[in-house]
A and B are shown apart, each in its own frame.
Chain A
Amino acid sequence: MEKMIAGKPITVNEEGYLTNFNQWDEKIGEAIAAEANISLTPRHWDVIKYLQTEEKNQVPLSIRRVGKSGVVDIKEFYSLFPNAPLKTATKIAGIPKPASCI
């Protein structure tokens, strides 16, 4: 389905995740973050860029892996993205929702 995000028609799935990363840019990320009541700081961007790189390298994402990334620890990850950090951060990053249980 299509959704207007930051003034552009963007293809998203029923949960609001982008289905085509090529449509993503930082303005889109900021708009999705605003919907989740998050205003993005440089620390948020560090995490978002890291997640995008991992996704590009086809690394399966999990809370544990993010915690070991050296980019952010689990505590800070939860404080940056308070509600469901991995789900929220990947949505902002324009990448698919991870299917991990850990």
Chain B
Amino acid sequence: MNENNGAIKKMMIILSKGTLENVYAAFVLANGARMEGIEAEMFFTFFGLEAVHQKKLAHLHTATVGNPAMHIPTMLGGLPGMEAFATSMMKKEMEKIDMPDVQEFLEILSASGVKLWACKLAMDMFHYKKEDLYEGIDEVITVGDFYKKSEGDGVHMLFI
């Protein structure tokens, strides 16, 4: 980690989850890298693909079950409507802090020069086609391609 005094040159961010808070975490990290002059690329795999699926990206939810930090008892978290309620609460709070919605955030990332890759294996598994995805997706690639793109000094990889 001593190359270039440990300076971060590029962030490779893998998003494997489709819950709202994970998607936002990944987006903020990618955008934040660009804001600091650090390159950023994102690899959407498994449920992370929902964040770039045209029909699904506007309907992501936050999880109320199995998340102790929500402070909702698991039994209550599973009641009908709880997830929608928690999601709408979270979206309201995000609006207050000037957080864009998923579609707009993707547009910001594209305009900021973040490369957006979709995982071929997960695409095949979910029977998604490239046309189903957000138009700014650069390409559908394999994990091997992604590693190839991650070569170089000062590149860091993050799995969400």
Contact = CB atoms under 8 A, between A and B. Distances in A.
Q: Give chain A's interface secondary structure class.
A: helix
Nearest to B34: A78
A31 to B, nearest CB: 20
A40 interface: no
A102 B100 contact: yes
B78 interface: no
A102 B99 contact: yes
B155 to A, nearest CB: 17
A84 interface: yes
Given A62-B98, A65-B98, A87-B36, A102 B111 contact: no
Contacts of A63: 31, 35, 108, 112
Interface in B36-63: 36-37
Interface string A21-40: 00000000000000000000
A56 interface: no
B28 interface: yes
Q: Which of A74, A75, A86 has most B Cβ within 10 Å?
A: A74
| Closest 4 A/B residue pairs (Cβ) | A84-B37, A74-B111, A83-B37, A75-B111
Interface of B: 28, 31-32, 34-37, 98-100, 104, 108, 111-113
9 contacts: A62-B98, A64-B108, A65-B98, A73-B111, A74-B108, A74-B112, A78-B113, A86-B35, A102-B28
